[in-house]
Chain A
Amino acid sequence: MSKIEHAVRDIHFITASASRDQWVNLIHPLVKFALTAGYILAVVSFPKYDLAGLAGMAVYPAAVFILADLSFLDAVRRIYPIFLFPCLLGICNPFFDKNTILIFGMTVSAGILSMMTLIIKGVFTVLASYLLIATTPIDKLCYALRMLHIPKEMVTQIMLTYRYLTVLLEEGNSMIQAYALRAPKQKGIHVKAWGSLAGQLLLRSVDRAEAVYESMLLRGYNGAYLYLKEKIAFRRWDVVYGLFWAGVILLFRKYPVVLIAGNLAGGMLG
């Protein structure tokens, strides 16, 4: 399978995951959106040497992976290229920051420490975002955005972009397949063909996007917000879930729970 084919499958997989009836999937989208945003803020705001405190923040993604019955390895396989960014950013730190710091009773280079916190921050942020979209269908997510008074036009754009992304990738994929079938001995695509392929891809996806848009118009779409007219009510569970995680995130942000628990356990054993 080509890379694009993988990408299309990944998007379809995430879409399919989001529309399951899992318990977390049914939590009110606004609650999940706010939690994700809050979680990311909390993670990003950790001091740059506080690796121990930061490690505790794994509790939220870990729990959601379990609740949503999603595979962690699968997620990593799907989104690992994104992890490259924080790694690239972090990799310079050891060269600039030559101090040493005592942590878990060991002396380590401050540069390496700050590199690791940066990478972990990046990983947690990406995971939390992934979990949000893998447990919340795009239309419900857009509904949450509307509740936050994000302008209609913008939300509609997000929704359409999401839809056209797969259209674009699928068109690209079928073109590359057609190319490969007629150039069986060649690996990849010859440089000479890139220009025309890219141009074709643009034209084709514009065509396809236009057809999709026409089909929407013909079925009564009038440029206003895309459906989900029925209200999503808040249930008691939504509130409990939201408050619980807000509490946990605050707690873990404020206290190095992992260290304390470690010390306690150590104390009891010793």
Chain B
Amino acid sequence: MKQVRIDVENLSFGYEKGQDILSQISFHAEKPESIGLVGANGVGKSTFLKLLVGLFLSFRGSIRINDIPVEKSTLPQIRAAVGYVFQDSDSQLFMNTVYDDIAFAPRNYGLPEKEVQERTKEAMSLTGTGSLEKRQIYKLSGGEKKLVSIATVLSMMPEIILMDEPSIALDPRNRRNLIGLLNSFGQLKIIASHDLDFILDTCGRTVLMAEGKIICDGPTKDILTDRGLLEKNGLELPLSLQKREL
């Protein structure tokens, strides 16, 4: 059986020459782990996720997805294996209707229309967006857009799912639904977020980033309960663990 895994060795990257945003990162993960990538704003979480799907190729070190190195010639394979959910749903969704957007990826992979339809319906039923099928994207609420964004990725049937700040802009109910949804997926997941409560509810393992490096990598329940560690790195204990005086 093929392994579903991510292997990053000595990864360094900067948008501008000489200014590395990530330096010497090594990281390994395999299915069915669910990993929270946490760190203060601007530490490079989004950059790291984008590197994994080959949106920037000028990095040093190596990135391998399912043992395939990320480079120009392998991008089609990499992208078929990895689904990426953007932080901003408006960037993710670009077709007119919900159905067309979810069907975009399978159509692009040249599947026959019948299978496109099956996959689209499946993705809609998993995310509970079936009733939105014919709706215009621009008329959806923020929570609906997020669910549809996830469906557009599920229809690719990726083995790995990367999500950038998925809980941002969701109200408590949508947030709870999303947690349930993510916990029902068996894929290898990496969720970048500074919403530590969300990570606490969805990820068994947490990677803490600061100043372009991985500071700490271990069980979520150890890292997210370590007040000193979190505060030193610009974060706070998850709200649910803070003692509040009411």
Contacts and interface: CB of A to CB of B under 8 A. Distances in A.
Nearest to A230: B113
A267 to B, nearest CB: 52
A12 B136 contact: yes
Interface string B38-64: 000000000000100101000000000
Nearest to B84: A218
Contact of A220 (B80, B97, B138): B80
B91 A211 contact: yes
Give chain A's interface residue range (CB within 8 Å of chain B).
20 to 34
B113 A216 contact: no
Interface in B86-132: 86, 88, 90-94, 96-97, 104-105, 107-110, 113
B207 interface: no
Contact of A229 (B76, B96, B105, B107): B107
Contacts of B96: 15, 19, 137-138
B191 interface: no
Give chain B's interface residue range (CB within 8 Å of chain A).
20 to 34
B217 to A, nearest CB: 26
A65 B76 CA distance: 45
A229 B27 CA distance: 40
Contact of B109 (A214, A218, A220): A220
A220 B108 contact: yes
Nearest to B103: A227
A221 interface: yes
B96 to A, nearest CB: 6
Contacts, number: 65
B86 A211 contact: yes
Contact of B79 (A16, A166, A208, A218): A218
Q: Chain A at the B interface: mostly helix, strand, loop or mixed?
A: helix
Contacts of B76: 220, 222
A212 B136 contact: no
Given A19-B97, A229-B107, A215 B92 contact: yes
B148 interface: no
A77 interface: no
Contacts of A212: 91, 94
A224 to B, nearest CB: 9
B208 interface: no
Contact of A219 (B90, B108, B136): B108
Given A212-B91, A214-B55, A229-B113, A219 B138 contact: no
Which 10 A-B residue pairings sit nearest by Cβ, starting from the closest? A211-B91, A220-B108, A219-B105, A227-B107, A215-B92, A218-B84, A220-B109, A212-B94, A220-B105, A230-B113
Interface of B: 50, 53, 55, 76, 79-80, 82-84, 86, 88, 90-94, 96-97, 104-105, 107-110, 113, 136, 138, 152-153, 156
Given A211-B91, A215-B91, 5 more contacts: A19-B136, A208-B90, A215-B84, A215-B92, A218-B82
17 contacts: A15-B136, A137-B96, A138-B96, A170-B90, A215-B91, A215-B93, A216-B94, A217-B79, A219-B156, A220-B79, A220-B105, A220-B156, A227-B104, A227-B107, A227-B108, A229-B107, A229-B113
Interface of A: 12, 15-16, 19, 137-138, 163, 166, 170, 208, 211-212, 214-222, 227, 229-230
